[in-house]
Amino acid sequence: MSANPSTLWTIAGSDSGGGAGLQADLQVFRAFGHHGCSITTAITAQNTLGVQQIEAVSPSLIQAQWQSLHHDLPPACIKTGMLGDAVETIADLLDTRPATPLICDPVLRATSGPPLLAPHQLETLRQRILPRTTLITPNLPEAAQLTGLPSATPSAYADALLQLGAPAVLIKGGHAPGNICSDFYADAHTRFQLESPRINTPATHGTGCLLAAAIAAALANKQLLTDAIITAKTYLNQNLHEAHSLGNGHGPLPFPPPCNARQYQPNIC
Protein backbone atom coordinates (compact mmCIF):
# COMPACT_ATOMS: atom_id res chain seq x y z
CA MET A 1 0.00 0.00 0.00
CA SER A 2 1.18 3.50 -0.76
CA ALA A 3 2.10 5.72 2.19
CA ASN A 4 1.42 8.78 0.03
CA PRO A 5 -1.65 8.17 -2.12
CA SER A 6 -1.60 9.62 -5.60
CA THR A 7 -4.41 10.33 -8.03
CA LEU A 8 -4.42 8.04 -11.06
CA TRP A 9 -6.64 8.27 -14.12
CA THR A 10 -8.06 5.45 -16.18
CA ILE A 11 -9.35 6.25 -19.67
CA ALA A 12 -11.35 3.21 -20.72
CA GLY A 13 -14.71 1.64 -21.37
CA SER A 14 -17.17 0.75 -18.64
CA ASP A 15 -17.67 -2.99 -18.01
CA SER A 16 -21.14 -3.70 -16.63
CA GLY A 17 -19.85 -7.06 -15.36
CA GLY A 18 -17.23 -5.32 -13.21
CA GLY A 19 -14.32 -7.54 -14.26
CA ALA A 20 -12.46 -5.36 -16.75
CA GLY A 21 -12.35 -1.82 -18.08
CA LEU A 22 -12.45 1.15 -15.78
CA GLN A 23 -14.14 -0.85 -13.00
CA ALA A 24 -11.13 -3.17 -12.80
CA ASP A 25 -8.63 -0.32 -13.06
CA LEU A 26 -10.20 1.59 -10.19
CA GLN A 27 -10.13 -1.49 -7.96
CA VAL A 28 -6.45 -2.05 -8.72
CA PHE A 29 -5.60 1.59 -7.98
CA ARG A 30 -7.39 1.29 -4.65
CA ALA A 31 -5.63 -1.99 -3.82
CA PHE A 32 -2.29 -0.20 -4.26
CA GLY A 33 -3.44 2.64 -2.01
CA HIS A 34 -4.20 5.29 -4.64
CA HIS A 35 -7.24 7.33 -5.59
CA GLY A 36 -8.61 6.48 -9.02
CA CYS A 37 -10.50 8.77 -11.38
CA SER A 38 -12.11 7.70 -14.65
CA ILE A 39 -12.78 9.08 -18.10
CA THR A 40 -15.35 6.85 -19.75
CA THR A 41 -14.90 6.32 -23.49
CA ALA A 42 -17.72 3.80 -24.02
CA ILE A 43 -20.47 2.02 -22.13
CA THR A 44 -20.71 -1.72 -22.63
CA ALA A 45 -23.26 -4.39 -21.84
CA GLN A 46 -21.10 -7.37 -20.93
CA ASN A 47 -20.74 -10.23 -18.48
CA THR A 48 -18.42 -13.19 -18.02
CA LEU A 49 -19.70 -14.69 -21.29
CA GLY A 50 -18.78 -11.76 -23.53
CA VAL A 51 -19.72 -8.31 -24.79
CA GLN A 52 -23.29 -7.88 -25.97
CA GLN A 53 -23.38 -4.19 -26.88
CA ILE A 54 -21.11 -1.13 -27.00
CA GLU A 55 -22.14 2.53 -27.13
CA ALA A 56 -19.52 5.25 -27.56
CA VAL A 57 -19.42 8.35 -25.36
CA SER A 58 -19.54 11.63 -27.30
CA PRO A 59 -16.29 13.56 -27.85
CA SER A 60 -17.73 16.60 -26.04
CA LEU A 61 -18.49 14.56 -22.91
CA ILE A 62 -15.03 12.94 -22.99
CA GLN A 63 -13.48 16.40 -23.20
CA ALA A 64 -15.69 17.60 -20.32
CA GLN A 65 -14.60 14.64 -18.16
CA TRP A 66 -10.96 15.44 -18.89
CA GLN A 67 -11.30 19.13 -18.09
CA SER A 68 -13.22 18.41 -14.90
CA LEU A 69 -10.43 16.17 -13.59
CA HIS A 70 -7.62 18.33 -15.00
CA HIS A 71 -8.69 21.35 -12.95
CA ASP A 72 -9.17 19.53 -9.65
CA LEU A 73 -7.58 16.05 -9.59
CA PRO A 74 -4.50 16.02 -11.85
CA PRO A 75 -2.96 12.58 -12.37
CA ALA A 76 0.36 11.17 -11.27
CA CYS A 77 -0.06 8.57 -14.01
CA ILE A 78 -2.61 7.78 -16.74
CA LYS A 79 -3.66 4.32 -17.87
CA THR A 80 -5.61 3.85 -21.09
CA GLY A 81 -7.68 0.86 -22.14
CA MET A 82 -10.45 0.65 -24.72
CA LEU A 83 -10.46 3.92 -26.65
CA GLY A 84 -12.60 2.95 -29.65
CA ASP A 85 -14.12 5.94 -31.41
CA ALA A 86 -12.49 8.25 -28.84
CA VAL A 87 -8.92 7.59 -30.00
CA GLU A 88 -8.50 10.92 -31.86
CA THR A 89 -10.09 12.88 -29.00
CA ILE A 90 -7.83 11.18 -26.46
CA ALA A 91 -4.75 11.79 -28.61
CA ASP A 92 -5.57 15.51 -28.66
CA LEU A 93 -6.06 15.59 -24.90
CA LEU A 94 -2.89 13.62 -24.14
CA ASP A 95 -0.94 16.24 -26.09
CA THR A 96 -1.85 18.70 -23.31
CA ARG A 97 -0.12 16.56 -20.63
CA PRO A 98 3.14 15.47 -22.28
CA ALA A 99 5.01 14.94 -19.00
CA THR A 100 2.48 12.62 -17.33
CA PRO A 101 3.48 8.93 -17.43
CA LEU A 102 1.15 6.90 -19.67
CA ILE A 103 0.57 3.14 -19.61
CA CYS A 104 -1.33 2.08 -22.74
CA ASP A 105 -3.18 -1.23 -22.83
CA PRO A 106 -4.22 -1.25 -26.51
CA VAL A 107 -7.62 -2.94 -26.41
CA LEU A 108 -8.23 -3.48 -30.12
CA ARG A 109 -11.03 -6.05 -30.21
CA ALA A 110 -14.00 -6.96 -28.02
CA THR A 111 -14.29 -10.59 -27.00
CA SER A 112 -15.94 -12.49 -29.87
CA GLY A 113 -16.67 -9.15 -31.50
CA PRO A 114 -15.54 -6.90 -34.35
CA PRO A 115 -12.43 -4.68 -34.23
CA LEU A 116 -12.83 -1.65 -31.97
CA LEU A 117 -10.71 0.64 -34.17
CA ALA A 118 -11.24 1.46 -37.83
CA PRO A 119 -8.05 1.48 -39.95
CA HIS A 120 -7.61 5.26 -39.68
CA GLN A 121 -8.15 5.09 -35.92
CA LEU A 122 -5.54 2.34 -35.60
CA GLU A 123 -3.15 4.61 -37.48
CA THR A 124 -3.88 7.40 -34.97
CA LEU A 125 -2.98 5.02 -32.17
CA ARG A 126 0.27 4.11 -33.93
CA GLN A 127 1.33 7.62 -34.88
CA ARG A 128 0.09 9.81 -32.03
CA ILE A 129 -0.45 7.70 -28.90
CA LEU A 130 2.18 4.96 -29.17
CA PRO A 131 5.15 7.41 -29.20
CA ARG A 132 3.58 9.33 -26.30
CA THR A 133 3.43 6.26 -24.02
CA THR A 134 5.74 5.35 -21.18
CA LEU A 135 4.89 1.70 -21.86
CA ILE A 136 2.55 -0.14 -24.21
CA THR A 137 1.30 -3.60 -23.15
CA PRO A 138 -0.18 -5.51 -26.12
CA ASN A 139 -0.99 -9.20 -26.05
CA LEU A 140 0.16 -11.30 -29.00
CA PRO A 141 -2.91 -10.68 -31.23
CA GLU A 142 -2.75 -6.95 -30.49
CA ALA A 143 0.98 -6.88 -31.24
CA ALA A 144 0.28 -8.55 -34.60
CA GLN A 145 -2.39 -5.98 -35.44
CA LEU A 146 -0.30 -3.00 -34.35
CA THR A 147 2.80 -4.08 -36.26
CA GLY A 148 1.16 -5.68 -39.30
CA LEU A 149 3.22 -8.83 -38.69
CA PRO A 150 0.77 -11.77 -38.75
CA SER A 151 3.14 -14.17 -37.01
CA ALA A 152 6.34 -13.19 -35.22
CA THR A 153 8.27 -13.78 -32.03
CA PRO A 154 7.67 -11.52 -29.04
CA SER A 155 11.14 -10.08 -29.60
CA ALA A 156 10.30 -9.22 -33.22
CA TYR A 157 6.99 -7.64 -32.21
CA ALA A 158 8.79 -5.56 -29.58
CA ASP A 159 11.42 -4.42 -32.08
CA ALA A 160 8.72 -3.37 -34.55
CA LEU A 161 6.87 -1.37 -31.90
CA LEU A 162 10.08 0.31 -30.78
CA GLN A 163 10.71 1.27 -34.40
CA LEU A 164 7.21 2.78 -34.52
CA GLY A 165 8.22 5.06 -31.66
CA ALA A 166 7.21 3.27 -28.46
CA PRO A 167 9.78 4.02 -25.72
CA ALA A 168 9.13 0.67 -23.99
CA VAL A 169 7.09 -2.43 -24.81
CA LEU A 170 5.74 -5.35 -22.78
CA ILE A 171 4.46 -8.18 -25.01
CA LYS A 172 2.06 -10.26 -22.94
CA GLY A 173 2.32 -13.98 -23.66
CA GLY A 174 -0.85 -15.34 -22.13
CA HIS A 175 -2.32 -16.21 -25.54
CA ALA A 176 0.62 -18.47 -26.43
CA PRO A 177 0.19 -22.25 -25.96
CA GLY A 178 2.01 -24.17 -23.28
CA ASN A 179 2.25 -24.43 -19.51
CA ILE A 180 4.49 -21.37 -19.11
CA CYS A 181 3.29 -17.78 -19.49
CA SER A 182 6.13 -15.59 -20.72
CA ASP A 183 5.99 -11.80 -21.02
CA PHE A 184 8.73 -10.05 -23.01
CA TYR A 185 9.99 -6.55 -22.16
CA ALA A 186 12.15 -4.32 -24.33
CA ASP A 187 13.28 -0.72 -24.43
CA ALA A 188 16.30 0.93 -26.05
CA HIS A 189 18.72 -0.53 -23.50
CA THR A 190 17.09 -3.47 -21.69
CA ARG A 191 15.40 -6.74 -22.64
CA PHE A 192 14.07 -9.47 -20.37
CA GLN A 193 11.41 -12.15 -20.00
CA LEU A 194 9.12 -12.79 -17.04
CA GLU A 195 8.05 -16.42 -16.89
CA SER A 196 5.62 -18.18 -14.57
CA PRO A 197 3.62 -21.41 -14.67
CA ARG A 198 0.20 -21.09 -16.26
CA ILE A 199 -2.48 -20.99 -13.55
CA ASN A 200 -5.50 -23.14 -14.33
CA THR A 201 -8.50 -20.93 -13.57
CA PRO A 202 -11.57 -19.75 -15.50
CA ALA A 203 -11.24 -16.33 -13.80
CA THR A 204 -9.20 -14.62 -16.52
CA HIS A 205 -11.48 -11.69 -17.44
CA GLY A 206 -9.63 -8.41 -17.05
CA THR A 207 -6.10 -9.78 -16.72
CA GLY A 208 -4.71 -7.26 -19.22
CA CYS A 209 -6.49 -4.38 -17.50
CA LEU A 210 -5.18 -5.50 -14.11
CA LEU A 211 -1.58 -5.79 -15.30
CA ALA A 212 -1.46 -2.36 -16.94
CA ALA A 213 -3.27 -0.69 -14.02
CA ALA A 214 -0.90 -2.32 -11.53
CA ILE A 215 2.10 -1.04 -13.51
CA ALA A 216 0.63 2.48 -13.36
CA ALA A 217 0.00 2.15 -9.62
CA ALA A 218 3.52 0.84 -8.95
CA LEU A 219 4.97 3.74 -10.96
CA ALA A 220 2.96 6.10 -8.76
CA ASN A 221 4.66 4.35 -5.82
CA LYS A 222 7.97 5.68 -7.25
CA GLN A 223 9.16 2.34 -8.61
CA LEU A 224 11.30 2.24 -11.72
CA LEU A 225 9.41 1.01 -14.78
CA THR A 226 11.12 -2.39 -14.87
CA ASP A 227 10.49 -2.89 -11.15
CA ALA A 228 6.86 -1.81 -11.60
CA ILE A 229 6.41 -4.48 -14.28
CA ILE A 230 7.77 -7.17 -11.96
CA THR A 231 5.47 -5.96 -9.16
CA ALA A 232 2.48 -6.02 -11.52
CA LYS A 233 3.31 -9.52 -12.80
CA THR A 234 3.49 -10.74 -9.21
CA TYR A 235 0.17 -9.06 -8.44
CA LEU A 236 -1.51 -10.61 -11.48
CA ASN A 237 -0.42 -14.09 -10.43
CA GLN A 238 -1.55 -13.39 -6.87
CA ASN A 239 -5.00 -12.58 -8.25
CA LEU A 240 -5.12 -15.65 -10.46
CA HIS A 241 -4.21 -17.86 -7.50
CA GLU A 242 -6.90 -16.27 -5.27
CA ALA A 243 -9.67 -16.01 -7.87
CA HIS A 244 -13.15 -17.43 -7.28
CA SER A 245 -15.51 -18.76 -9.91
CA LEU A 246 -18.19 -16.14 -10.58
CA GLY A 247 -20.58 -16.20 -13.52
CA ASN A 248 -20.82 -18.82 -16.25
CA GLY A 249 -17.80 -17.81 -18.34
CA HIS A 250 -14.46 -16.12 -17.73
CA GLY A 251 -14.97 -14.69 -14.27
CA PRO A 252 -13.52 -11.55 -12.67
CA LEU A 253 -10.42 -11.35 -10.49
CA PRO A 254 -10.56 -10.56 -6.74
CA PHE A 255 -8.25 -7.45 -6.54
CA PRO A 256 -6.79 -8.06 -3.05
CA PRO A 257 -4.10 -5.74 -1.68
CA PRO A 258 -0.77 -6.65 -3.29
CA CYS A 259 1.57 -8.94 -1.40
CA ASN A 260 5.03 -7.66 -0.57
CA ALA A 261 6.98 -10.56 -2.06
CA ARG A 262 8.07 -10.20 -5.67
CA GLN A 263 7.95 -13.79 -6.91
CA TYR A 264 9.05 -13.38 -10.53
CA GLN A 265 12.52 -12.20 -11.43
CA PRO A 266 13.47 -11.27 -15.00
CA ASN A 267 15.51 -13.45 -17.33
CA ILE A 268 17.79 -10.85 -18.90
CA CYS A 269 18.07 -11.29 -22.67
Is 77 designated active site?
no
Nearest C-alpha neighbor of 13 from the set 136, 144, 131, 116: 116
- The sign of the CA dihedral 104, 207, 210, 192 is negative
Question: What pLDDT is attached to residue 138?
Answer: 97
The number of residues making up the chain comes to 269
| pLDDT tens track, the chain, 269 positions | 556 789 999 999 999 999 999 999 999 999 999 999 999 999 999 999 989 999 999 999 999 999 999 999 999 999 999 999 999 999 999 999 999 999 999 999 876 567 899 999 999 999 999 999 999 999 999 999 999 998 899 999 999 999 999 999 999 987 777 788 899 999 999 999 999 898 888 888 899 999 999 999 999 999 999 999 999 999 999 999 888 889 888 888 888 899 764 544 444 43
Q: Let me know if 77 is exposed, middle or buried by CB neighbors in 10 A (0-12, 13-18, 19+).
A: buried
> Which pLDDT value is given to residue 243?
85
| DSSP bridge pairs for 183 | 194
Q: What are the φ/ψ torsions at residue 71 (nearest 5 degrees)?
A: -80, -15
3 state DSSP class of 130: helix
Q: Which of 44, 133, 204, 234 is catalytic?
A: 204
Task: Please confirm, yes or no, whether 79 is among the known catalytic residues.
Answer: no
What are the start-end ranges of the E strands in the chain? 7-15, 35-47, 50-56, 77-80, 102-104, 135-136, 168-171, 180-187, 191-197, 267-268
> Catalytic site residue 174?
no
Of the residues 40, 81, 104, 172, only one is catalytic, namely 172
Q: Which has the closest alpha carbon to 216: 81, 110, 68?
A: 81
Sign of the C-alpha dihedral, residues 230, 233, 237, 238?
positive
Tell me the three state secondary structure of residue 193: strand
Residue 261, exposed/middle/buried by CB under 10 A (0-12, 13-18, 19+)?
Answer: exposed
Q: Which of 19, 173, 208, 251 is catalytic?
A: 208
Q: Domains of the chain (ranges plus CATH)?
A: 7-268 (3.40.1190.20)
Q: Which residues of 86-99 are buried (b: 16+ CB within 10 A; e: fewer)?
A: bbbbbbebbeebee
Other beta carbons within 10 angstroms of residue 249's beta carbon come to: 16
- Indicate the pairing of strand 267-268 with strand 191-197: antiparallel
Is 233 in the active site?
A: no
**Amino acid, res. 184:** F
10 assigned to active site: no
| Catalytic residue (choose from 21, 81, 84, 206) | 206
Q: What is the pLDDT of residue 245?
A: 81
